[in-house]
């Protein structure tokens, strides 16, 4: 169990430092309906994590032999492909991310946030008119359509599945991963729910720190996770 949690921690942190979700959340939390839409975005984010993990668990269970023998080649292939994706993503974040997150540090409206983050959909400029249902779908979409967040959730589910623990530790490990992965959205939303507009100074400081540090942290962590998965995949393939 301890080894599993150590494997899950960098994957959860990989979701935490993903700038795309933070940029979208900032746009929601500076909108007029920040409390309701922020809560809806959080629920959508959590729902997306659960959906991906449940779906991946079902797929992995379908591919695993009933006797739970040695790991099949497909496990190594999954790790190899996702490892390559994460290494490439690390390079992209390093080269392209710094400029956009610095622009976001000066953003004061949803329009400014979108202008600072051109990878976000243009219709996010109308977030001031969003209903909670649209904010919920935004939370779901931002997670599922982000290859980095999606890859980390897939790898976390794969590690939990391959650990072959009893139902209690398995559920506990999944809950711990989901809680940590949801924390970058959960914490700011809770602060806004409790403090309302008084949370603006905190959000500004947090946004400034994220804008100045996320690119480097994200690139280094994604590169580390990607290399770890590549190492596991190559070692397993050579041993088979």
DSSP string covering 139-180: HHHHHHT-HHHHHHHHHHHHHHHHHT--HHHHHHHHHHHHHH
Band of the pLDDT at 153, cuts 50, 70, 90? very high
pTM, two decimal places: 0.78
SS3 33: coil
Q: Phi-psi region for residue 18, left (φ > 0), alpha (ψ -120 to 50) or beta?
A: beta
Once rounded to an integer, what is the mean pLDDT over residues 96-112? 60
**Which of 166, 133, 172, 169 lies closest to 47 in space, CA to CA?**
133
The pLDDT value given to residue 176: 94
The pLDDT value given to residue 41: 93
The whole-angstrom separation of Cα 84 and Cα 122 is 29
Once rounded to an integer, what is the mean pLDDT over residues 111-116? 60
The pLDDT value given to residue 48: 96
The whole-angstrom separation of Cα 29 and Cα 11 is 26
Band of the pLDDT at 26, cuts 50, 70, 90? confident
DSSP state of 196: G
The pLDDT value given to residue 163: 85
Q: Tokens representing 158? A: 């794969």
pLDDT digits (tens, 9 = 90+) for 164-222: 888 889 999 999 999 999 988 898 888 888 877 776 677 666 666 655 556 666 677 77
pLDDT over 90 for what percent of the chain? Answer: 18
Q: What is the mean pLDDT of the chain?
A: 79
Band of the pLDDT at 230, cuts 50, 70, 90? confident
Q: What is the CA radius of gyration of the chain?
A: 19
Could you tell me the residue range of the domain that residue 157 belongs to? 2-239
The pLDDT value given to residue 10: 82
The pLDDT value given to residue 49: 95
Number of structural domains the chain divides into: 1
Q: Judge contact between 59 and 35, C-beta under 8 A.
A: no
């Amino acid at each position: 169990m301890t080894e599993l949690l150590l494997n899950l921690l960098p994957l959860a942190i990989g979701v935490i430092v993903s700038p795309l979700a933070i940029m979208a959340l900032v746009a929601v939390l500076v909108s007029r309906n920040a409390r309701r839409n922020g809560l809806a975005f959080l629920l959508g984010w959590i729902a997306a994590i659960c959906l991906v993990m449940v779906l991946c668990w079902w797929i992995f269970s379908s591919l695993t032999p009933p006797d739970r023998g040695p790991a099949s080649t497909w496990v190594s292939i999954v790790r190899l492909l996702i490892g390559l994706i994460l290494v490439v993503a690390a390079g992209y974040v390093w080269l392209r991310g710094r400029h956009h997150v610095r622009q976001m540090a000066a953003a004061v409206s949803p329009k400014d946030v979108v202008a600072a983050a051109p990878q976000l959909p243009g219709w996010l400029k109308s977030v001031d008119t969003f209903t909670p249902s649209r904010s919920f779908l935004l939370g779901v979409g931002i997670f599922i359509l982000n290859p980095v967040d999606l890859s980390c959730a897939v790898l976390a589910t794969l590690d939990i599945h391959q650990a072959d623990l009893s139902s209690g530790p398995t559920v506990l490990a999944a809950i711990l991963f989901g809680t940590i992965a949801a924390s970058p959205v959960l914490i700011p939303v809770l602060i806004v729910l409790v403090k309302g507009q008084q949370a603006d100074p905190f959000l500004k400081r947090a946004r400034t720190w994220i804008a100045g540090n996320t690119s480097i942290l994200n690139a280094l962590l994604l590169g580390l996770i990607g290399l770890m998965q590549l190492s596991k995949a190559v070692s397993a393939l050579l041993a088979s």
